Structure 1
Amino acid sequence: MTIRRFSTAVFAAALLTPALAACTGTDTAEPGASATPTASGSAAPDPSGGPTGATVDADAKQALLASTNEIRNGNFKFTMSGGGSTAEGQVHEPSQSAQMKVTLGEAGSDLMVVLDIVHVKPESWVKAEVGGRNAPRLSEIRDVDLSKYQRLDQTKIQNDRNLGFDFDKLDPAGSEVITQSITEVRREGDGSYAGTIDLTKAAEAGSLDDGLVAQIGPEVRTVPFTARLDPQGRLSELAIQIADTGEGRAEEVKVTYSDYGNATAAQKPPADQVQEAPEALYSLFR
């Protein structure tokens, strides 16, 4: 039993997977059809080739695209939530460091995993807490001292979306790619926007499971979103709504950004709390 695609970089993939998988079942109704926003203002045909009839408020879309510029500077805090899971952390590019805490599942569930991940280039560490009814089945953790941080071998996590961190791609959620996939948008007030995105065009975002997105049909690929910008025009919140999955509830994946320019450098764990990660730890995430 392993944990796949489970890091902050792909955190929303774990959140979106159950909802999208259910949507690709027998229910052919277009999700969010009753709540899909329509564009207003100076609308023009979607130059990105969105669904037939979709329109984009060019000014609103440009504002959303520009709102992700500050993220590239790599100095912010973030949170992600949805489906009973959470993530929070900070990126501090000036010190080439990042730290995040990821929680998947809840106490009393089949499996709960809490990861404390620290990156101080060129080193990385992870401390894992594993619980839930299925935890005893995770044979990979028997050789892992869960009381310590595990120093990760960079050659084993290079380009690994589970345990690695790419300082050339500083945004864990990939909000820039997501905003570029807008097919419909309207301004709802100062700093507030609503519209739809095409998930297939956002498949390269770190927060989406590109394999799953490739499998979804055209009837479920366009989903509603809302966004908020702070007074400086920077993205502060992005929420993607997945319609009723057939289980009687909708799903929402939400990403927030805060403290632009005010994050702090991540701290290396004390040496007496560190051990070299055994091979079993890497196996847990493959």
Structure 2
Amino acid sequence: MPTQEHLRTAMNEMARSTDALSPTVVLHAARRRQTHRRLLAAVVTAAAVTAVSIGVAVATPSRPPDGPAPADTGDAGQALRDSVAALRGGNYTFTRTGTSSIADIQRAAVHLPDSVLLQHASSFVMVRAGSDTYLRYLLNGGPELRAQYRQYYKENLKAADVRKIDEVYSHLDGEHWVRADEKKLTEAAAVDEQSGLDYMAQMPTTEQPDATGAGSLIAAVTSAERAGNVITGTLDATKPDPLLELMFSDPTYLYGVGAKSMPYRATLDDQGRLTEFTVTMPDHRMASQPADPVQPEPPLVIRISEYGRTEAQSPPAQISGELSSLAYELLARDTD
């Protein structure tokens, strides 16, 4: 089996063969990690990227145990904080857009303690059904990059090792389901490399049932006004919270003082439960932003539905196999 050192050497050699990113591309990488990041080039520009790295994507409870207390925003603020209480029941469906393209959630179905489905993209889906976890994942993110890596392995590793790597690629092709160890996936995501798993949302549990991120956003609210079932105001995106860092990716660097007063709009249902939370990104330029034109950032939008009516997920009908130890090595250093 190829050793971890062999894999790192292969990755580093490939990285040195690519061109560096332009300042504008680095800026966009800081704000939102795109689905097909040019991660080989990102390794070359590691010093620039490290300054704005968002780390591992993890779902946090509504208020982190060691985080700051929510601001006292009166009755409207209390209604807003109460609106996420229903998430603690662990039965809901949601979507999340406007974060990174991978940290975005196209569809999630939470039915605790029995099951969870988190679909980041059509080729990046995780399902927990009972005690088992399943993954559908596209290693390297696209045909061109996959071909580059496979060709490099073919030219630089022994034939027996290449066959083992080819088997991993056959499982992680974005189409087949494979049985995975959730703990090992989390460990692979924590490796300090450029991996698509870095932006994997941690599966919710009965102890931490809120996978939406809405709780962290609401804990950062600094003002709130209510009109019917709509609450508006501002939030401080710079508050210390790992999930806020994921969703805004170093907001002080990108937006300056605007990061401390981002406008939001929350919609509640007739039972006071949160159904939508939208954060509008500041439209002014930061002082360090390149002169090149930068497209306006889309809003961050979380939509929640099917409280108490979300059905449990069944295991995938066809499983192509189980992830090997080599697969976790490749996932830890995957470039998507």
TM-score (normalised: structure 2): 0.58
**Counterpart position of 2:181:** 153
**Counterpart position of 1:91:** 110
Q: Distance in 2 between matches of 1:231 and 1:207?
A: 32
* Structure 1 segment 259-278 matched on structure 2, within 5 A: 259-270=306-317, 272-277=319-324, 278=327
Paired AA for residue 132 in structure 2: E
Q: Identify which of 143, 163, 169 aligns with 1:144.
A: 169
**Counterpart position of 1:125:** 134
**Counterpart position of 1:254:** 301
Give aligned-pair identity as a percent: 22
Q: Is the 8 A contact 1:80 1:255 kept in 2?
A: yes
Larger proportion of helix: 2
Per-residue CA distance 1:21-68 (angstroms, 9 max, x = gap): xxxxxxxxxxxxxxxxxxxxxxxxxx9697xxxxx6401000000000
Q: Is the 8 A contact 2:236 2:259 kept in 1?
A: yes
Q: Distance in 1 between matches of 2:309 and 2:29?
A: 30
**Counterpart position of 2:31:** 18
User: Which SS does the other structure have where 1:237 is aligned?
Assistant: strand
Paired AA for residue 127 in structure 2: V
Q: Identify which of 196, 200, 203 aligns with 1:165.
A: 203
Q: Is the 8 A contact 2:31 2:250 kept in 1?
A: no
Paired AA for residue 314 in structure 2: Q
* Structure 1 segment 1-286 matched on structure 2, within 5 A: 17-18=30-31, 57-82=73-98, 85=101, 86=104, 87-95=106-114, 97-103=115-121, 114-129=123-138, 130-131=141-142, 134=145, 136-137=147-148, 143-145=168-170, 146=173, 147-158=175-186, 162=200, 164-167=202-205, 168-187=207-226, 189-201=227-239, 203-205=241-243, 208=246, 212-213=250-251, 219-222=257-260, 223-244=262-283, 247-270=294-317, 272-277=319-324, 278-279=327-328, 280-284=330-334
> Structure 2: any 5+ residue segments left out of the alignment?
1-10, 12-27, 34-67, 154-164, 190-197, 286-292
What RMSD, in angstroms, separates the aligned Cα atoms of the two structures? 3.6
Paired AA for residue 281 in structure 1: L
Query: Cα distance, 1:194 vs. partner?
Result: 1.1
Q: Distance in 1 between matches of 2:70 and 2:302?
A: 26
Per-residue CA distance 1:117-154 (angstroms, 9 max, x = gap): 11124321111244376554465985322242122223
Paired AA for residue 251 in structure 1: P
Q: Distance in 2 between matches of 1:205 and 1:84?
A: 12
Task: Give the direction of change, closer, same or farther, for the CA distance of 1:220–1:190 in structure 2 (3 Å limit).
Answer: same
Task: Give the direction of change, closer, same or farther, for the CA distance of 1:269–1:259 in structure 2 (3 Å limit).
Answer: same
Q: Distance in 2 between matches of 1:18 and 1:138?
A: 27
User: Which SS does the other structure have where 1:261 is aligned?
Assistant: coil
Q: Is the 8 A contact 2:32 2:100 kept in 1?
A: no
Q: Distance in 2 between matches of 1:165 and 1:213?
A: 25
Q: Is the 8 A contact 2:237 2:248 kept in 1?
A: no
More divergent stretch after superposition (240-249 vs 210-219): 210-219
Larger proportion of strand: 1
Q: Distance in 2 between matches of 1:16 and 1:63?
A: 36
Q: Distance in 2 between matches of 1:135 and 1:18?
A: 25
Per-residue CA distance 1:214-234 (angstroms, 9 max, x = gap): 766751322111110011100
Q: Which structure has the larger Rg? A: 2
User: Which SS does the other structure have where 1:101 is aligned?
Assistant: strand
Q: Is the 8 A contact 1:173 1:205 kept in 2?
A: no
Q: Distance in 1 between matches of 2:318 and 2:300?
A: 37
TM-score (normalised: structure 1): 0.67
Paired AA for residue 153 in structure 1: D
Q: Is the 8 A contact 2:238 2:252 kept in 1?
A: yes
Task: Give the direction of change, closer, same or farther, for the CA distance of 1:136–1:173 in structure 2 (3 Å limit).
Answer: farther
